[in-house]
Structure formats: structure tokens, C-alpha cells
Chains A and B, each alone.
Chain A
Amino acid sequence: MTKMEKPANFSRRSFLTTGGALVVSIGMPISAETLLSINTAFAQATATRPPLVPNQLSSYVAINADGSVSAFFGKMDMGQGLYVSIGQMVAEELDVPFERVTVYMADTRTSVNQGGASGSTGIQSGGKQMRAASAEARRVLVEMGAQKLNLPADQLTVADGVVQAKSDPAKRATYAELIGGRHFNVELEWNNKIGNALYAPGKATPKSHKDYKIVGKPIKRADIAPKAFCTAPFVTDIKRPGMVHARMVRPPVAGATIESVDEASIKNIPGARVVRENNFLAVVADKEWDAIKALRQLKVQWSNSKPPFIDQAALYEYIRKAPVRKREDSKPVGNVEEAFKSAARVIEAEYEWPFQSHSCMGPACAVVEIADNGHVTCWSGTQKPHFLRDGVARTLGVKPETVDCIWVVGPGSYGRSDADDCGNDCAVIAKAVGKPVRLQYMRNDGTGWDPKAPASIHRARAAIDAKGQVIAYQFLSKGFSRVDVNTNGSQPRDTLAGHFRGVELRSGDNFGVPAESYAFANKHTAWETIPPLLDRASPLRSSHLRDPVGPQIHFASESFMDEIAHALGVDPLELRLRHVKNPRHAAVLQAAAKKAGWESRPSPRKGQSGNTASGRGIAYAARNGTVVAIVSEIEVDRSTGKIWARKFTVAHDCGQVINPDGLVHTVEGNIIQALSRTIWEEVKFDTGNVTSIDWLTYPILDMTEVPEVIDVVILDRPDQPPTGAGEGSTRPVTAAIANAIFDATGVRLRRAPFTPDRLRAAMS
């Protein structure tokens, strides 16, 4: 452990020593102005802060002159209150009141790369690091207090940011007195990873959950009021002096290239001009409306290239037959093939899932400014500003240190959306025009040209013996890759700017297998990916959309559990409980069923008459340690095929709960969005291009279709690590509804989404 507490060697800085170890950088004498402005934290970042590196305590936490705390978080909050939870974890470990902590998020000027929003790891890994850093800061402060008070550290305690003698509270030193306004200079034990995997603890051990006073409390978000009173800007509201406006010009047929651009066609529009590099084409004007007019008016001759796509009606047949580019098998249990040979019965089914779009509430927006000294600043709604910084640097051919990326809340964020494309596009334009540029996509760019969740098919098979036992289980997914373009904007080859400008491509391969703990004597799961329909600048390029490949896989695997239960004539919950092995998995199933008043019986429900049929379904899934079971209760209008998902009961175990209020809101958002994806969402395309380009052609759930109740049962496990809630409850929704439809109507839907037309056709 000699690595820790070794001071970084900075010139122009002296050090305060405690017990022979140098821990605090005093830096330059601090002026009154600095002391007053220290609360903004940004003042600190420029003055005397040690380098912003993962192994420095100062990269995560600072005590300001007034004793308030700044926490620098290399992830962002997509609006689920994550920053509140992070503030709670920091305040808890530091023993300061929650109100004293400000969390600064996702800004390359103030935080290291903790991966941005990614895989529901905000608390699981991001919070873990903030907790470790805060615990270390407290330990260092106690040591400093020991020095100042001339008492051994073990005779001290901390309350409300005051280090004091256990025996005599009059012997005290506040955090502000000890270090306020100066920076920690403590080296941490960094695992040399960046992104989600970054971990850099100090010597301190975080508190036991038994001592928590702030973690676990339902503290409210402070960022709602600025939105309700319109006092805080969205990324769309960022304005820079001299800023001009841009719009992208995309080909009408995907894959078409530019033959010629008639710049004269927009010459009547004031200040309008074209930015072109290879097939990258944008229009720029001083006024936003003029840029939009130029977009509409510009005459471009596109190549008459062959439409790249297939007939959408043949999509699943195409996937079935497409060559496999990569396959990955999970470790088999037993001998599946032999077991199937000995089976008394075999049950088989295949499920289909369409391409889906992020369709964020607004199309992406970015502002890029390149200063005279070459420094680049990018304001973006991206989930991953540190990676976007790297992408912008590569796109512009400059060093990453030359670029800062500042996340500003944008129009929603659910994965690798159009935001990362937009930041890179905007950088290219800003360089070309030599002025600050604001680029906002149009609606058809946001829906038609965002990276899509991959379409897939899923085959499941079960072998049943003569006694009605499931003796073998097999599950295979085949689909487009979840990383045809990668999940962040750090490489030009993963962005539209790179594709249109002609960089070399590298499409990745990944999918996934069901995440459950069903034990069968013989079990085998696998996935296969197929090449994209169009490898360059495709509006059907696939990447991560909330709970990447989770909804599709578990729609299939959890529908299939019900198909087995039906074949065996048993209650679907009972079948699951027979096979589920992990006790926490069994616990969520039982908790959801109990709260929902689950009646044990096989599906479908008997004795349904009349136009409205009602049913219930259950499904569960795990996700990186989190496990969620959902009971959905629905009504089906037989004449229209319309489903009303009246009630959801969600049992949620994500380990230790940091903020139960935030958790419930997060779960509700998951359920509504997943319900929307289940009933309505399917990207439409013809052979030439994506034809889902707005809210009419890509409908989502309407207010008149929302459930009456979403009942969330939290299984808090304070002694377990927190594992994340951003996506887990999205995962089982589709299957829970499919199973409820079967319960209500006896009809099994194996293709999503469950639109009224599709269900009505299936019922007739």
C-alpha cells in the first residue's frame, strides 16, 4: 500500500504533512474571491486542483471553504434522481448533512471517466467509487483533525462535518478549518480501468449499513423546480456568442452517395451555406429557421443506388436464414441432445422482436465551439460525455486534452441514442465554419436515423419426460448485433459523421442469453449475430437501447416458461418456483405474486365471456445482480384487439436501496416505457429507408392508455451491495403482458409489438 498517500509532485505547491504522510495540497495562497467563489467548484478546477486523474482523491470530492462538499461524478443522471442518491452516499460516508453536498456530473472539466450512464451502473459502480472516495476523505480529515487537536485518531469522531474528541466535544475542528477551500492530494489505489469498471478506493473502509442515517431515506430531487419554472437550460438552450445554426442533410435512400450539390439553390437564404465532406452534408445559417429552410430547399443529386433493405414483411424469415457472423454458447449443463432423444414430449416455440427506436422526446442537439487557441468545447445531452470528448477529438484530429465535453440535460436518454452522432456531426461543422455551431436534428433524424435496438428471433425448446418433468431446455437467440455500432461515441467509425465521411468501419458482435436461475438437468443457451443489412451510414444500424436485448430475450424466455406450464397444465408461478434456484429470485416471484393476490391455477382463465376478457401474467428476470418479478393484469377488448394493462405489481430487489422514492419513480418509468415498446413500438422500413420518422409513424403509449396502478414492492437488502434499477424492471414487462394475454384469451402472441391489429388478427 505504499502507493497511497504518496503526494503527487507538483511544482508551485507546498504540502501540509500529517504524521509524515503528505496529504493535503495547500496550493497558492487563496484569495478572498476564491474563497467566496469556491462553492461553484469550477473555480477550484482551474486554480490549484491536482491533475484530474482517477487515482487522485481530489478528482471525486472537495471540501469548500464554507464546509460544503463538492462531489465530482463521472456519470450523469438521466432524470431518475441518481445524483440525489450519489449525494446521499457521499454525505453518509463524510458524516455531513445531505444538504451540504453538491454533485457535479458528467463534465470532462471536473470529473474523470466513470463511464457515463451505462448499464444501470450509476449506483452499482459509480456510487461505489464515490462511496469509497468519500470514506477515504473522511479518514484523511480525521487524521488531520488528530494532528490539529493533538489527539489519537481513534479518540475522535465526526458529526455534521466536525471532527471532535469523543470524550470532549469542545475539542473540535470543522472540515472547513481543516481543509476548506483547498484540495485533497491523496493518491488512491486505482485499478487502472476507466469507464464503468473504474475503481479507486483509499485505505478507509466504508461504513456498515447499520450506521446509515442518510442512505435509505426518500430524499427528493432539487432539479424539478428549475424545470418547472424554466430557469435551467436544456442543451437545446445553450447559446454562444456568434453562434450559427446547422441541420444535417441525409440521403433519401440509405446508402446513396452525393453526386452533386447545387449550392445556388439556397443562395436566397441569408447566410446559408453548405458544409460537405465526402457524403457528410450539412447546411448552416445565422438563424435557425433559415437553416431549416436551407435544409428543405437545398438541391442534392444523390446516386441512384440500389435500395439496401429487404421487404419488412420478410424480416424474420431473413434473420432465420441469414449467415451467422458470430456465435457464443453458454456452458452447457448435462447433455441436451441426448435428453431430447429420450423425451416423451417436446415443446417448441419461436418469438420475434422488431427494430425499435430511441425516439427521444426531442431530436438530439449539440453546440460546439472551437476557441482561437484551438480548444474545443462540446455541449451535449450525451450519456457519455467523456467518450464523446474522445470521439470529437478523433473526429477533429486533435488530442483529447484539447477537447472538453459538458453534459447538459437533453431531450431524454435511454442508451446509445442520436446524441453521440449529433456531437460529432456538430464538431465537423464547427471546424468547417470557424464559428460556434448549434446543431439540432429534425424529428425524422431523431426517429429515422438514430441507432436502433436490434431485431431478433428466439427459439426455445423443452423436453418433457413421461412423468411430466422438464428434463431439458434449450434457448437460442439470432439477430442483429447490439454493437453493430458501439455503445459510445468515442470512435468515428461508430458515428454517422465517421460513416458519411468515409472512415474505415468495424461492426461489433454481441447479443445475450436469458438471465434467470432455472435449473434443468440439461440446459443450453446461445446467441448468434448476423451482419447488418447495410454496413455504412445505415438508419437500421443497431446498438444499445434501454436494457439492450433484455426485452427481446426475456419476452421469449419468459413467455416460453408459460408455454411449458400450459403444456403441463400447471400454474405458471408454480412451474417457475419448481425450477428457480437462486433464493433471491424465488423471493421476488413470491413477493410479486403475494402482493398481487395471485390465484394458483393454470392459464388460460376459464369462463370468460363478453367483449372484455381479463387475464394475469407473471414474468421475472435478473440483470447484473438486480432481480425483478412482475405480475401484470390486463383487459383485452376482443372487438378492437386493444390491450389495457390495468395493473402492474413489481417486486424489485436491487440489493441495498439508497433512495426508495427515486427507486419507485425509476421503476414506474421503466414500466411505462416498456409497456409502450410492448404494445406499439416497431420501426417500419421499406427497401430504401426507415419509414418510421415521427410520432405518427412510430407511435408510443398515450396518456389514455396508462395503467391504473403500478404497485412497487421493494425488497430492500441493506447488507447487500446496491446493484442498479435503471433497466431491470423493463426486462420482464413484455412477457408478463404476453402471458396475461394468453390467460385472458387463450391466444399466444409470439411477435412483438402487440398492436390491436395483431391481437385482433390472432384472436379471429
Chain B
Amino acid sequence: MASFTLDVNGKSHAIDADPDMPLLYALKNDVGLNNPQFGCGLAQCGACTVHLNGQPIRSCVTPVSAVGDGKVVTMSGLGTPEKPHPLQTAYVAEQVTQCGYCINGWVMTAAAFLRDNKKPTDEQIKQALHGIKCRCGTHMNILRAVKRAASMMG
């Protein structure tokens, strides 16, 4: 057991945890967020994706000790109903999800990608989202939403 102070969505959280414990469990159980989600614990699906210093990471394989004083942003820190991120607006407009359990992977990966790549082609978007899973098969919707967000982000 060791003590850590995590910066999550702009707030600091003191937690006691095993240094090996993946960040995911800190976010869900210690910080108490409804996101991200456990899909595989193996960095294979994306359901646990958060931003660490602006870059998407798989929190299921990132030890809490590796986070240091890095800034963690989860999907709930991306925007709010009052001040939504364009991807959140686009998800609602395109009615993307089925179960929605995959949502963190797509949105957090796309958010970083769209921030760094203005006016991407469809092919670039698909490549950026390669490897993320949606078992319900909402891929057509996801693409529409990411394209819509891309145009909103100019």
C-alpha cells in the first residue's frame, strides 16, 4: 500500500493503493466515477480509455504509480451537458450508442485525434480508431458522429 494524489478532471484525490493497481480501479472505486469501464484488462478494447496529459491511455494496464502528478481526464471531464465537447454533442445528435459500454474508448481516442488532426479524411479517422471495440456494432454511427464532431471542430 502506498499513498497517491491523483489529479482527475481537475480535482485532486488522495488515495491509498497498491502501486501495481491499474488506474482504472482507482477511478471507479476510489474516485467513484461512472466511467471509464472494464472491458478486458488487457489493453485490447479501449473501454477504459482516459487521457493522461492529453494523450489517450488504457487505464486498465496503467499502474496508478505511473500516473505521478499527470493530469487525468476521463470522459466525464471532457464536457458537461451545459458545455459539451463536440464529440458528446455529436454522439447525442447521431444517436450513437447501443449499450454504450464501449463509449470511453471511441470518444477519448477520437477527442485527442480530432484535437491534433483538423479536417481528417474518413480513412484517417478509421485508422485512428483502429483496434477499439464495439460489440454492439454501432460503427456506422460512430463514424458519422466523429465526422460531425470533426466538422464542428473545424
Question: Which residues of A are at the interface with B, using a C-beta cutoff of 8 A?
Answer: 78-81, 220-221, 224-225, 227-234, 236-237, 239, 287-290, 293, 359-363, 409-414, 440, 442-443, 661, 665, 668-673, 675-676, 694-696, 700-704, 706-707, 710
Contacts and interface: CB of A to CB of B under 8 A. Distances in A.
B29 A410 contact: no
Given A224-B95, A703-B129, 17 more contacts: A227-B100, A227-B103, A229-B79, A231-B34, A236-B37, A288-B29, A289-B22, A360-B135, A361-B47, A362-B47, A411-B99, A412-B135, A669-B138, A673-B137, A695-B44, A701-B139, A702-B130
Interface in B22-38: 22, 25, 28-29, 32-35, 37-38
A361 B102 contact: yes
A414 B137 CA distance: 11
16 contacts: A79-B100, A224-B92, A229-B79, A230-B34, A234-B37, A236-B37, A289-B17, A361-B47, A362-B37, A411-B47, A412-B101, A412-B135, A442-B41, A695-B133, A702-B131, A706-B139
Interface in B131-147: 131-143
A362 B139 contact: no
Given A239-B32, A673-B136, A706-B139, A230 B47 contact: no
B101 A361 contact: yes
A361 B132 contact: no
A669 B92 contact: no
Nearest to B64: A289
Interface stretch (B51-59, B80-88, B113-121): B80-88
B3 interface: no
B29 to A, nearest CB: 6
B69 interface: no
A230 B36 CA distance: 9
Contacts of B127: 704
Nearest to B30: A287
Given A229-B84, A700-B135, A443 B42 contact: yes
Nearest to B35: A230
B96 interface: yes
B143 A706 contact: yes
A409 B107 CA distance: 19
A669 B100 CA distance: 13
A692 B64 CA distance: 29
Nearest to B75: A230
A78 B98 CA distance: 7
B45 interface: yes
B21 interface: yes
Contacts of B37: 234, 236, 361-362, 411
B97 interface: yes
Which residue, B74, B139, B141, has most C-beta atoms of chain A within 10 A? B139
B137 A672 contact: yes
B14 to A, nearest CB: 16
A703 B139 contact: yes
B40 interface: yes
A700 B102 CA distance: 14
A706 B101 CA distance: 20
Contacts of A696: 44
B99 A409 contact: yes
B102 A672 contact: no
A459 B42 CA distance: 40
A79 B28 contact: no
B65 interface: no
A220 B126 CA distance: 26
A234 B18 CA distance: 26
B21 to A, nearest CB: 4
Contacts of A675: 137
Given A669-B136, A669-B138, A228 B92 contact: yes
Nearest to A287: B29
Contacts of A80: 98
Contacts of B62: none
Contacts of A668: 137-138, 140-141
Contact of A665 (B21, B34, B95, B107): B95
A468 B150 CA distance: 57
Given A665-B95, A694-B44, A229 B81 contact: yes
Contacts of A362: 37-40, 47, 101
A668 B38 CA distance: 25
Which residue, B21, B38, B103, B142, has most C-beta atoms of chain A within 10 A? B38
A361 B34 contact: no
Given A224-B91, A703-B130, A703-B142, A78 B99 contact: yes
Contacts of B137: 668-673, 675-676, 701
Contacts of A440: 38
A668 B45 CA distance: 21
A704 B99 contact: no
B5 interface: no
Contacts of B101: 234, 360-362, 409-412
A360 B102 CA distance: 10
A140 B96 CA distance: 39
A691 to B, nearest CB: 15
B12 to A, nearest CB: 20
B135 A361 contact: yes
A669 B137 CA distance: 5
A195 B32 CA distance: 36
B130 A672 contact: no
Contacts of A665: 95, 98, 138, 141
Nearest to A673: B137
B96 A694 contact: no
Nearest to B94: A224
Which residue, B33, B75, B100, B143, has most C-beta atoms of chain A within 10 A? B100
Given A224-B91, A694-B40, A233 B133 contact: no
Which residue, A412, A694, A696, A707, has most C-beta atoms of chain B within 10 A? A412
A475 B32 CA distance: 55
A703 B135 contact: no
Contacts of A359: 135
B56 to A, nearest CB: 15
A135 to B, nearest CB: 29
A232 B97 CA distance: 14
Nearest to A443: B40
Contacts of A231: 34, 76, 81
Contacts of A221: 95
Contacts of B33: 230
A228 B91 contact: yes
B130 A704 contact: yes
Interface in B1-22: 17-18, 21-22
A716 B103 CA distance: 32
Lowest 7 CB-CB distances: which A-B pairs, in order? A672-B137, A79-B98, A227-B100, A230-B76, A673-B137, A411-B101, A230-B35
B103 to A, nearest CB: 6
Contacts of B138: 665, 668-669, 672
A361 B45 contact: yes
Contacts of A289: 17-18, 21-22, 25
B17 A224 contact: no
Nearest to B40: A443
A665 B99 CA distance: 13
Nearest to B125: A703
A78 B100 CA distance: 10
A287 B129 CA distance: 33
Nearest to B41: A443
Nearest to A441: B38
A230 B50 CA distance: 13
A467 B80 CA distance: 70
Contact of B103 (A228, A442, A701): A228
